[in-house]
Amino acid sequence: MKLSLLQPLRKFPLESVKGAYTQDQVNIGWYGYETTKNASIRVGPGHNFQEKIRLGPNRRVGVQSVRNPDGTDCPPMRPAMRDSNKAPWVWVYSDSIVGWMMVSVLRERNDSVPWARGPSGLDFHVGLETCRNVAKSRTFGHRRNRVRTISADDVQLRYAARGTAMSYLQRGDGIRELYRRLQNDFIAVSVTQSRTTPIGTRGWVDVRSLAGEKASGIDVSVLRAPIDFHRVRESGEDFVVCKATEGETFMDRCFFENVTNARHSFLHVGAYHVLRPRSGRSGTEEAEDFIRALKLAKIGSTDIRPTVSVETSRVDRDETERYVGEFVGAMRMAGFDTMLYTYRKFLNWTKAFNTDLWIRDFNVKHPKLPFPWDDFVLWQYAENHVPGVTGKVCRNKCPDLSRIIQK
């Protein structure tokens, strides 16, 4: 018996669509259709959304379809969304253009070959299963259900980090992270609120299209040992930056223990080096010890970027800046994008070294920045008690967590 496109749409309403939108494993492909008259592919399901391409009658169109992993359902379901007039729209492609098209302007083209090829020339195998294969889970306990907001228009929701767009999200739409971070600047998400995409759809979005994710954290050293990082996380902190090295030879004896325990408590982890500029040696030499410590602790991509703390110096300004430049340069050669920690009155800086600033400024509503920086990525704003830490500890605010993560 021949089934029309409208039958599965009535049988599987949006609220109960299965497959890609609710299950871990599902195949997604394209079912062969053609247009019955002039029709447009649009960014969203409705005539108020921007037109991407206009097609004439009898044009071949692939309609997004989902089927169970065993492939027994035939024809596959065509999940749809309804516009303000209750008219159903489906996700389609034609001439490598993907978007939304009205159901009423489509008809089945060939029932004998229902599983059409997609925009990449291949059938897609997608869903949460693909997300699990592409990126290791770094979902962090209390962060698992955090909903974030799309901050740009027409953001592609992709099948995979490098995959073809399967839908578009609009400014103000909401997503929930499935994995902490990152695959080629993309993050696996589930849609929680959208005008253009079925709720629960899983895919990948560019993290740069998301509104800034505020975070807070502490920085620690051997002076605060032992630390109960589980209590730190439960108190609401998101990250911890651990002292690793100082000068040319000193290593914090609790560094590796702190990093390991913080990771086990599902906190973001980073490390810092205390710079001791003086004549007779170079910033490169100090960087070498820090780099060795970072590699031994396996701090790298998806962790907090390493930091150089510059608060004292035994040489003049020019020598200090040369020293800092050597340190930052050596870190870049090793593949680390270093942040610089300092306070406004320490030095009359002339160079920013193309580094992001971690500023210390206590008991103020907004930090005052030293020239030549006009922005900061971290602000150390107070020193007080945090559950799980002995004595007072420095507290830090981050306006956007994605800016302090090592790519």
Q: Order of strands, edge to edge, in the sheet holding 165-169? A: 147-149, 174-177, 186-193, 202-206, 155-158, 165-169
DSSP symbol at 358: E
Share of the chain above pLDDT 70, in %: 78
Task: Dig out the tokens for 190 from the structure.
Answer: 């589930």
User: Which H/E stretch holds residue 81?
Assistant: strand 80-82
Domain termination site, one of 187, 209, 231 = 209
When pLDDT is averaged across residues 137-148 and rounded to a whole number, the result is: 51
Residues 135 and 219 in one domain: no
Q: Are residues 205 and 225 in the same domain?
A: no
Last-in-domain residue among 209, 238, 253: 209
Instruction: Please give the tally of structural domains in the chain.
Output: 3
Q: In this structure, is residue 261 part of a structural domain?
A: yes
First-to-final CA distance of the chain: 53
Last residue of a domain, one of 160, 183, 209: 209
Q: Over the stretch 58-85, which tens digit does the pLDDT of each residue have?
A: 998 888 776 655 556 565 667 778 888 8
Residues 298 and 178 in one domain: no
Residues 35 and 85 in one domain: yes
**In the chain, % of residues over pLDDT 90:** 45
On whether residue 269 sits in a domain, the answer given is yes
In the block, tokens 């031994």 appear at: 296
Question: What is the C-alpha to C-alpha distance for residues 327 and 73, in angstroms, rounded to an integer?
Answer: 61
Model pLDDT for residues 259-310, shown as the tens digit of each residue: 999 999 989 999 999 999 998 889 999 999 999 999 999 998 878 999 999 9
Lowest mean pLDDT among 47-56, 81-90, 249-258, 352-361: 81-90
Instruction: Please give the radius of gyration of the chain, using alpha carbons only, rounded to the nearest integer.
Output: 26
Q: Which domain holds residue 384?
A: 215-404
